[in-house]
Amino acid sequence: MDKTELNELLRAVAAGSVSPEAAAARLKTAPFEELGYAKVDHHRALRQGAQEVIFGEGKTTEQIAGILTAMLDKGDRGILVTRLQAEKAAALMERFELDYHPEARIAVAAPERDKRLVGSVVVACGGTSDIPVCEEAAVTAETLGSRVHRLYDVGVSGLHRLLSKVNVLSTARAVVAVAGMEGALPSVIGGLVDCPVIAVPTSVGYGASFGGVAALLAMLNSCASGVSVVNIDNGFGAGYLASMINKTEGYDQ
Q: Find the binding residues for a copy of itself in span 229-248 (CB under 8 A).
A: 229-234, 237-238, 240-241, 244-248
Is 85 an interacting residue with respect to a copy of itself (CB under 8 A)?
A: no
Helix 235-246 and helix 131-143: axis angle, to 10°? 40
Is 75 an interacting residue with respect to a copy of itself (CB under 8 A)?
A: no
Q: Least CB distance from residue 203 to a copy of itself, whole Å?
A: 7
Write out the binding residues for a copy of itself, residues 132-151 only, by CB under 8 A: none
Tell me how far apart the alpha carbons of residues 220 and 183 are, in angstroms, rounded to a whole number: 10
Tell me how far apart the alpha carbons of residues 169 and 161 are, in angstroms, rounded to a whole number: 13
Which of residues 80 and 107 has its CB atom nearest to a copy of itself in the complex? 80
Which of residues 99 and 228 has its CB atom nearest to a copy of itself in the complex? 228
Tell me how far apart the alpha carbons of residues 226 and 25 are, in angstroms, rounded to a whole number: 44
Is 66 an interacting residue with respect to a copy of itself (CB under 8 A)?
A: no
Is 72 an interacting residue with respect to a copy of itself (CB under 8 A)?
A: no
Q: What angle do CA 44, 11, 23 make, to 5 degrees?
A: 55
Write out the binding residues for a copy of itself, residues 4-33 only, by CB under 8 A: 6-7, 10-11, 13-14, 16, 19-21, 23-24, 27-29, 31-32
Q: Least CB distance from residue 102 to a copy of itself, whole Å?
A: 14
Is 88 an interacting residue with respect to a copy of itself (CB under 8 A)?
A: no
Is 93 an interacting residue with respect to a copy of itself (CB under 8 A)?
A: no
Binding track over 151-190 against a copy of itself, x by CB under 8 A: -xxxxxxxxxx-xx-xx--x--x------xxxxx--xx-x
250: left (phi over 0), alpha (psi -120 to 50) or beta: beta
Q: Least CB distance from residue 98 to a copy of itself, whole Å?
A: 20
Write out the binding residues for a copy of itself, residues 30-59 only, by CB under 8 A: 31-32, 37-39, 41, 43-44, 47-50, 53, 57-59
Q: Which residues pair with 176 in a beta bridge?
A: 123, 198
Instruction: Work out which of 87, 94, 114, 194 binds a copy of itself, going by CB under 8 A.
Output: 194
Instruction: Work out which of 63, 72, 77, 99 binds a copy of itself, going by CB under 8 A.
Output: 63
Amino acid, single-letter form, for residue 221: N
Which of residues 143 and 246 has its CB atom nearest to a copy of itself in the complex? 246
Is 101 an interacting residue with respect to a copy of itself (CB under 8 A)?
A: no
